[in-house]
């Protein structure tokens, strides 16, 4: 078949090589579109895998209680300190830990920074360490009597302040002195990522230091071994609803949160891929325009080919293959740029403490190349038909 004729590809390659600058400008739209799509898909797939891994690390027996019944309601709804005791009274609950959070002024050796400070009941700190959220790596954990001690996040000690903060050194939080009792290990899951760049202190002490009224940002609940999670969620929900006299909270297991996170990532990726597809459309139009110009410039050449016996399918094949090769080259360059951009995003995310590994599958590579080639070939069909319809006698007279 003519489409797989080696000579056909050699002729197409020679024509592209002879118009290097124009060919490069033509494929630019394809390059941008494919690069954006490859980068977004690989980052999106990496995010999905990262989310799944983070939830697996927490285990299937962890439940989150969040304020509000939806996105807008969460702004106004609040959990209370008593909710922790209420939840721990529910049958099947191992423990419940309230997480408080606010931003406070911290000073160390003359340097001042506004940083995140997390409050937690000292009795629950060790328990959270078992699920990879707040595990102490150096020093010790906090005790109930620690009214002037803090624990630093794994990256806070070396990255937040200009001078590295070590164990037993003193820092000031809102003008009050605290001594560093320990440093956390890096969080093993995304839920603990906020601890990496923060300071931790006893929740009662945080309330004393802060001038704001603090309520739990979330409550982490651990189920007893063998408990049916759906039934436990319902029992917690029923108990809290009776206490609040309304349902202004959410009780979610990790599977639900994972599905929400995955769907949000997927929706964002879909929108961005749609935007990137516009570049492909522009690239296809560019290829069509260039091929039409090429037909005009090579009118006499087409006339000679037809005069010596080149058939209409052969003429069409030459121009379609040439357009396809332009699309393929653009796809290959875009693929490399897309992988590079995704890798750069991954490196930046990792350095910021967010675990993100981009995923480039063989299917993505083959799909990107095939799609870009198809765009080129489709864009080349009309110019190819124009070339094939040229009258050889008139073509030979063309100047």
Give dist(CA 169, CA 221) in Å, integer.
33
Specify the DSSP class assigned to residue 165.
P
> Residue 252 burial by CB count (10 A; 0-12/13-18/19+): exposed, middle or buried?
middle
From residue 220, alpha-carbon distances to 95, 191, 238, 354 in Å are 8, 10, 17, 21
Tally of CA atoms within 13 A in the half-sphere of 381 that contains its CB: 6
Give dist(CA 106, CA 308) in Å, integer.
85
> Residue 242 burial by CB count (10 A; 0-12/13-18/19+): exposed, middle or buried?
exposed
From residue 358, alpha-carbon distances to 5, 43, 186, 342, 361 in Å are 38, 5, 21, 6, 10
pLDDT score at 65: 87
CB burial readout 282-313, b (16+ within 10 A) else e: ebbebbbebbbebbeebbebbbebbeeebeee
pLDDT in tens for each of the 399 residues of the chain? 444 566 666 766 666 665 666 667 777 777 888 888 888 888 877 777 766 666 655 556 788 888 876 555 555 678 888 898 899 899 998 888 888 999 899 888 888 888 889 998 888 877 776 666 777 888 888 888 888 899 988 888 777 777 788 888 999 998 899 999 988 887 766 566 678 888 989 988 898 888 888 888 888 888 888 888 888 988 999 999 888 888 888 888 766 666 666 666 667 767 767 776 776 677 777 777 776 776 666 667 777 777 777 777 887 787 788 778 888 888 898 899 989 988 888 887 776 656 667 788 888 888 888 888 888 888 778 777 777 777 766 655 555
Specify the DSSP class assigned to residue 144.
T
CB distance 380 to 324 below 8 Å: yes
CB distance 240 to 65 below 8 Å: yes
Is the whole-model pTM more than 0.85?
Answer: no
Give dist(CA 274, CA 40) in Å, integer.
11
The alpha carbon torsion through 276, 336, 39, 26 (nearest 10 deg) reads -10
pLDDT score at 179: 92
CB distance 342 to 38 below 8 Å: yes
pLDDT score at 53: 63
CB distance 322 to 15 below 8 Å: yes
CA-closest candidate to residue 89, choices 269, 305, 260, 239: 239
At residue 218, the 3 state secondary structure works out as strand
pLDDT score at 177: 92
pLDDT score at 336: 92
For the chain, what are the domain ranges? 2-55+259-397, 78-247
pLDDT score at 132: 63
CB distance 41 to 265 below 8 Å: no
Give dist(CA 37, CA 277) in Å, integer.
7
Specify the DSSP class assigned to residue 227.
-
Give dist(CA 233, CA 61) in Å, integer.
11
């Amino acid at each position: 078949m003519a489409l797989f004729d080696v000579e056909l590809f050699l002729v197409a390659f020679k024509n592209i090589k002879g118009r290097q600058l124009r060919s490069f400008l033509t494929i630019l739209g394809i390059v941008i579109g494919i690069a954006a799509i490859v980068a977004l898909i690989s980052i999106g797939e990496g995010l999905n895998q990262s989310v799944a891994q983070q939830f697996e690390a927490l285990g299937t027996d962890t439940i989150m209680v969040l304020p509000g019944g939806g996105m807008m309601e969460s702004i106004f709804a609040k959990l209370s300190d008593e909710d922790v005791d209420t939840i721990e009274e529910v049958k099947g609950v191992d423990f419940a830990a309230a997480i408080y959070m606010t931003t406070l002024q911290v000073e160390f050796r003359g340097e001042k920074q506004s940083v995140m400070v997390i409050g937690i009941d000292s009795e629950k700190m060790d328990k959270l360490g078992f699920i990879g959220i707040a595990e102490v790596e150096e020093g010790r954990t906090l005790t109930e009597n620690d009214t002037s001690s803090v624990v630093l996040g794994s990256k806070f000690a070396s990255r937040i302040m200009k001078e590295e903060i070590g164990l037993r050194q003193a820092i000031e939080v809102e003008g009050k002195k605290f001594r560093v009792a320990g440093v956390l290990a890096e969080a093993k899951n995304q839920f603990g990522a906020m601890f990496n760049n923060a300071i931790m202190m006893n929740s009662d002490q945080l309330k004393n230091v802060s001038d704001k009224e603090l309520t739990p940002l979330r409550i982490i609940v651990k189920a007893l071994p063998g408990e049916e999670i759906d039934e436990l969620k319902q029992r917690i929900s029923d108990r809290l609803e009776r206490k609040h006299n309304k349902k202004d909270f959410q009780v979610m297991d990790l599977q639900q949160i994972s599905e929400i996170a995955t769907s949000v990532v997927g929706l964002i990726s879909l929108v961005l891929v749609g935007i990137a597809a516009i570049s492909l459309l522009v690239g296809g139009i560019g290829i069509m325009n260039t091929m039409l110009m090429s037909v005009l410039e090579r009118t006499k050449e087409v006339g000679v080919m037809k005069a010596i016996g080149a058939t209409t399918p052969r003429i069409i094949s030459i121009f379609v293959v040439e357009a396809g090769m332009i699309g393929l080259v653009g796809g290959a360059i875009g693929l490399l740029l897309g992988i590079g951009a995704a890798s750069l995003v991954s490196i930046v995310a990792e350095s910021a403490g967010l675990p993100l590994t981009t995923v480039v599958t063989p299917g993505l590579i083959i799909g990107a190349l095939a799609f870009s080639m198809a765009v080129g070939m489709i864009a080349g069909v009309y110019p190819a038909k124009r070339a094939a319809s040229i009258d050889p006698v008139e073509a030979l007279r063309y100047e």
